[in-house]
Amino acid sequence: MSPAEKLARAETICAYSFKQKSLLRQALTHPSAVGDQATGQSYERLEFLGDSILGSVVAAALYEAYPSFDEGKLTRLKVSLVSGMTLSEVGEEQGITECIFLGASELGTGSRGMHSALENVYEALVGALYLDGGIEAAESFIMRTLRPHLAADRAERPENPKSYLLERVQADRLGLLTYKMVDVSGPPHQPRFTAVALLDGARQGKGTGSSKKEAEAAAALDALERLGYTTQGVILKRKLG
């Protein structure tokens, strides 16, 4: 896909026509591409701006949508919605992957190295939309793309999947719970870790993240799902089966 086609595709995804195309180009430019292409900056500064705007827009939307929720539930729901996992999923659903300008060092990483880039570009697009079209443009994009992921039961997801899994494993005497790091991919400045959760040496869950802690938490959540303690990440009143 040519640069012009990438920009056009990104505008379709955003449902917005940029007056400053350079802002859109910057939002789509991975740090690895700055040295390879005739571009001013990567998405990092726009990502910083977009992160703050995203948090504010989501917080305001949740406050209005769930008047009966206390601060704790609202916080858990917000954290779930703006998490790296959710944003990378949304970015993939929207087709942002094919719009990103990558440097040669990133081209071979495939989908493994794309998760954090998708999260970052999503936030950078929010920042670019804000600068080019104001808060209305940014808010429209956020609500349109995140709305399918907005569900009240996200507020009931375990805050600490590792602690919750350990609690359930010990209560039901399922065996010895351990974690093992099985893969590290991506460049040094943006590594991607993969961990597995084991019960008596048998794999029960697998997860990835931008840190070992995040990968183990994802593996714990996957194990909770497979063992029947959650469904789609939501704590069940009783174990299935």
Q: What is the mean pLDDT of the chain?
A: 85
| Size of the chain, expressed as the number of residues it contains | 241
CA distance 188 to 190: 6
Phi/psi at 160 (5° precision):
-125, 90
CATH of the domain at 56: 1.10.1520.10
Q: Is residue 142 part of a domain?
A: yes
Total structural domains in the chain?
2
CA distance 64 to 21: 34
Q: Could you tell me the strand order of the sheet in which 202-209 lies?
A: 177-185, 192-199, 202-209
> Is residue 68 domain-shared with residue 183, that is, in the same domain?
no
The backbone region for 134, taken as left when phi is positive above 0, alpha when psi lies in -120 to 50, beta otherwise, is left
Catalytic residues: 51, 123
Tokens (6 digits) for 9? 């595709």
Q: Is residue 143 part of a domain?
A: yes
Q: Is residue 240 part of a domain?
A: no
**pLDDT at residue 194 tops 90:** yes
Q: Which of 155, 175, 196 is the last residue of a domain?
A: 155
> Is residue 167 domain-shared with residue 71, that is, in the same domain?
no
pTM above 0.85, yes or no: no
The string of pLDDT tens digits covering residues 143-190 is 999 988 776 556 666 667 888 899 889 988 999 999 999 999 888 888
Supply the pLDDT for residue 238: 38
Supply the pLDDT for residue 241: 38
Q: How far is CA 241 from CA 121, 156, 174, in A?
A: 41, 21, 15
Domain that holds residue 186: 161-235
